[in-house]
């Protein structure tokens, strides 16, 4: 298990490089089905499928809000608050009997871990290398992280790292499965042999941190129709003050800001078939949009699965994403990723040999299955606030601009979730997340030039838009995109390229009032 641990932070991209059982593409195609359910649910009837298709079809009437549009998470929608707790409310339809589980999960999410050895045995095991001491440190108030400002240390942002995989690496099971899907052009990658899958900027006493993040910005003026202008800030990232020697040749760095946490359980409950049905890798419909489904290796289920979570959809489930964050961000082992030294590599022998949270105890991991499940339940049930101003004429006009400009080609407005036997909060809800959950080429401007699984260096998963208008209320800033480079929603739109170039150019060319109404609509989400 520990030999495979280094792959988790790179999604399936690193798994491609580590080898495994060599199976034929035909065998893999027969053995794995991305539609295979990972949640316990019930199949839809034909009548239900027809009703769902009608309900989720894009509207053509922009004179009034659609039925139930204000309740973006269905019955799980929570009342919108005008303070920093807006993203920290449990699903409104959560049974009373589960509220204690939610609160205990919240406590574990906020827990400050300490280094080993410690008298607080239930809280030790931090690091030895880490980016944060708790989940809440990155996802402050369950909201969006931000890049460091001035001399501030990065506290909710880090750099992923990978290197080109050896050309003689054995074909893994995931390799063969991707080959069966026709994927043979995305370069394979591996963790850095010294620094692992991500760079940690903190370390426990007696160990050097791996680096300090360096960022420089260059301004770029954009002329907008109507005499308006906007300024984009293009970042350049460096790994400074390296604590363990130089990076490996060809090292690729990818900046990542912690995303907001709301609505994750509902995204997990979208039927895989509904996501896969939107994929159009060859742009067969000619609309310029060619979304692709991410495919990752699930270390929990031991099979390829549809990627859903993370900025490149590198994790298949909330539970696995949570376990990966515990390991990579905090250095806490779980039943899924059980290396007690977190992301430390064999080249960092002192780090691997340091005391950890299971030293001298009978515990197998620093957080057990029950604790991981409670954190997963908490993350699954953070409620989505209700929409504001859905009937405002300017919001309705902005909605029409959003639809007419073609933004819904990637930001799919509506879904109906699976019928789930043991998750009433997510079961059979009409939701409005505004994402297709697919990978899209966003052009060279947003490229990190670091492949991850099926995603090449210019592809990112379409982020959900629900709650985006409350970012300042919750997080105290308006920094957007994968690295927080956009300082406003308009700047975020103007950074779009690649498959979204036509939409970006339409926003640049549109009348100032239409542009303002579009932003007002986004702020209502």
Per-residue pLDDT at 121: 76
Per-residue pLDDT at 414: 98
Q: How far apart are CA 485 and CA 524, in angstroms?
A: 22
Per-residue pLDDT at 43: 82
pLDDT interval class at 24 (50, 70, 90): very low
Q: How far apart are the first and last CA of the chain?
A: 42
- Mean pLDDT score, 487-501: 98
Q: Phi and psi for 420 in degrees, rounded to 5?
A: -115, 125
* Greatest mean pLDDT among 33-42, 116-125, 246-255, 360-369: 246-255
Per-residue pLDDT at 361: 80
**Res. 13: pLDDT tops 50:** no
Per-residue pLDDT at 23: 34
**Res. 27: pLDDT tops 70:** no
Per-residue pLDDT at 151: 84
DSSP string, 328-390: III----SSS--TTTT--TT-HHHHHS--TTTTSS-SSSS-HHHHHHHHHHHHTBPPBPPS-T
Per-residue pLDDT at 170: 72
Residues 6+ apart with CB under 8 A from 358: 125, 333, 340, 364, 365, 366
- Mean pLDDT score, 137-147: 96
Nearest CA to 268 among 302, 246, 239, 298? 298
Q: What is the tens place of the pLDDT at every residue in 433-483?
A: 999 999 999 999 999 999 998 999 999 999 999 999 999 999 999 999 999
**Res. 5: pLDDT tops 70:** no
Q: What is the tens place of the pLDDT at every residue in 194-207?
A: 999 999 999 999 99
pLDDT interval class at 239 (50, 70, 90): very high
pLDDT interval class at 1 (50, 70, 90): very low
**Res. 179: pLDDT tops 90:** no
Q: What is the mean pLDDT of the chain?
A: 91
Tokens of 242: 């390296």
**Res. 173: pLDDT tops 90:** no
pTM more than 0.75:
yes
For residue 321, give the H/E element and its range.
helix 318-325
Which of these ranges, 1-10, 272-281, 341-350, 499-508, has the smallest mean pLDDT?
1-10
Tokens of 25: 């593409």
pLDDT interval class at 8 (50, 70, 90): very low
Which of these ranges, 89-98, 147-156, 265-274, 477-486, has the smallest mean pLDDT?
147-156
């Amino acid at each position: 298990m520990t030999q495979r641990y280094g792959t988790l932070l790179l999604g399936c991209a690193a798994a491609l490089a580590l080898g495994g059982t060599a199976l034929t593409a035909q065998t893999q195609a027969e053995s794995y089905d991305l539609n295979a359910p990972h949640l316990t649910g019930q199949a839809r009837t034909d009548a239900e499928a027809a009703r769902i298709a009608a309900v989720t079809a894009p509207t053509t009437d922009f004179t009034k809000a659609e039925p139930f549009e204000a309740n973006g998470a269905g019955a799980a929608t929570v009342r919108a608050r005008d303070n920093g707790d807006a993203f920290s409310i449990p699903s409104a339809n959560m049974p009373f009997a589960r509220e204690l589980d939610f609160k205990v999960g919240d406590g574990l999410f906020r827990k400050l871990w300490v280094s080993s050895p410690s008298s607080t045995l239930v809280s030790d095991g931090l690091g030895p290398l880490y980016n944060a001491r708790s989940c809440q440190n990155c996802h402050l108030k369950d909201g969006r992280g931000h890049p460091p400002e001035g001399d501030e240390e990065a506290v909710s942002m880090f750099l992923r790292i990978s290197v080109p995989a050896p050309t003689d690496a054995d074909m893994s099971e995931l390799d063969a499965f991707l080959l069966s899907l026709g994927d043979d052009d995305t370069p394979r990658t591996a963790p850095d042999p010294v620094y692992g899958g991500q760079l940690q900027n903190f370390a426990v006493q007696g160990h050097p941190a791996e680096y300090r993040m360096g960022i420089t910005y260059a301004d770029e003026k954009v002329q907008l129709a109507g005499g308006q202008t906007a300024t984009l800030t293009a970042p350049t990232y460096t790994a400074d003050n390296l604590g363990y020697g130089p990076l490996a040749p060809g090292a690729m760095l990818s900046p990542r800001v912690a995303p907001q946490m709301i609505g994750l359980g509902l995204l997990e409950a979208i039927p895989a078939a509904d996501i896969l049905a939107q994929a159009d890798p060859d742009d067969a419909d000619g609309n310029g949009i060619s979304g692709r489904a991410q495919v990752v290796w699930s270390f929990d289920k031991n099979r390829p699965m549809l990627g859903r979570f993370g900025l490149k959809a590198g994790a298949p489930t909330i539970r696995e994403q949570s376990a990966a964050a515990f390991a990579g961000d905090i250095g806490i082992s779980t039943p899924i990723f059980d290396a007690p030294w977190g992301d430390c590599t064999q080249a960092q022998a002192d780090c691997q040999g340091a005391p950890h949270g299971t030293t001298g105890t009978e515990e197998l991991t620093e957080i057990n299955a029950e604790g991981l499940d409670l954190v997963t339940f908490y993350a699954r049930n953070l409620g989505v606030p209700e929409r504001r101003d859905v009937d405002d004429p300017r919001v309705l006009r902005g909605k029409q601009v959003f639809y007419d400009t073609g933004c819904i080609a990637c930001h799919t407005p509506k879904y109906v979730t699976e019928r789930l036997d043991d998750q009433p909060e997510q079961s059979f809800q009409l939701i409005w997340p505004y994402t297709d959950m697919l990978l899209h080429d966003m052009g060279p401007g947003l490229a990190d030039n670091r492949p991850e699984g099926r995603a090449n260096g210019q592809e990112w998963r379409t982020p959900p838009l629900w709650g985006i208008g409350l970012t300042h209320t919750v997080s105290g800033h308006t920094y957007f995109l994968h690295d927080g480079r956009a300082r406003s929603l308009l700047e975020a739109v103007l950074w779009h390229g690649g498959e979204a170039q036509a939409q970006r150019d339409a926003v640049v060319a549109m009348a100032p009032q239409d542009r303002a109404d579009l932003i007002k609509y986004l702020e209502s989400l």
